A and B are shown apart, each in its own frame.
Chain A
Amino acid sequence: DAKTTQPPSMDCAEGRAANLPCNHSTISGNEYVYWYRQIHSQGPQYIIHGLKNNETNEMASLIITEDRKSSTLILPHATLRDTAVYYCIVRGSNAGNMLTFGGGTRLMVKP
């Protein structure tokens, strides 16, 4: 599976949009981009995933560049409860449920 690169930490003001970048320059054509987050001492929580097109759900939006080498997770109106470590993961079709987690981005939402 392709590796990902994320900034180790970011701050965001409460109520503002949080934009979390991820580089995955070695992604191959059949690999999806997934985002999970982990709030302190809890299990990771699925947020969103995509292949080529931008995706949106009730939690977030995922913007994938046309060359698929990078993506951005957008939390449109961050709240204090969004403070967590966010993991960007690239997952291949033959990987089963074997996720390769990197270091993630520690997002701190501040009042």
Chain B
Amino acid sequence: KAGVTQTPRYLIKTRGQQVTLSCSPISGHRSVSWYQQTPGQGLQFLFEYFSETQRNKGNFPGRFSGRQFSNSRSEMNVSTLELGDSALYLCASSIDLASTGELFFGEGSRLTVL
């Protein structure tokens, strides 16, 4: 079956702009989580959605937001972009929120902020 799909794969924005990233989970998966990866901070959890509700949120400013649709697809938005937002944004899906659930990651969206 198809894996986790993230779009766009690469994008370039300038400071002050906003960006929306999309994630389509594996069919049947209801949980979607987002991570930011930078060389300095490594992989950091952004937020997690299950059944259209945000369940957990990482330590990121309010400029970072997300949502999940009824078909489990998710989007994340970053407003007023800063240079430090340049990163690989990874989406992961799982069947549910169970602690033993395996996460399946997408290939990521690489954002460059100029």
Contact = CB atoms under 8 A, between A and B. Distances in A.
Given A96-B31, A96-B56, A46 B45 contact: no
Contact of A43 (B31, B45, B94, B106): B106
Interface in B19-70: 31, 33, 35, 42-45, 48, 50, 55-56, 58
A97 B48 contact: yes
Nearest to A48: B102
A91 interface: yes
A44 B36 CA distance: 12
B101 interface: yes
Contacts of B43: 44, 87, 99, 101
Given A97-B31, A101-B42, A103-B42, A92 B99 contact: yes
A99 B109 CA distance: 19
A26 interface: no
Chain A contact residues, majority secondary structure:
loop
B11 to A, nearest CB: 15
Chain B contact residues, majority secondary structure:
strand
A49 interface: yes
Given A44-B90, A103-B42, A97 B104 contact: no
Given A32-B99, A32-B100, A43-B108, A96 B92 contact: no
A46 B33 contact: no
A61 B28 CA distance: 28
B92 A43 contact: yes
A46 B104 contact: yes
B82 to A, nearest CB: 22
Interface in A84-109: 87, 91-104
B87 interface: no
Interface in A41-73: 41-46, 49
Interface of B: 4, 31, 33, 35, 42-45, 48, 50, 55-56, 58, 88, 90, 92, 94, 97, 99-108
Query: Considering the complex of A and B, which 6 residue pairs feature the smallest CB-CB distances, nearest first?
Result: A43-B105, A101-B43, A93-B99, A96-B97, A97-B33, A98-B56
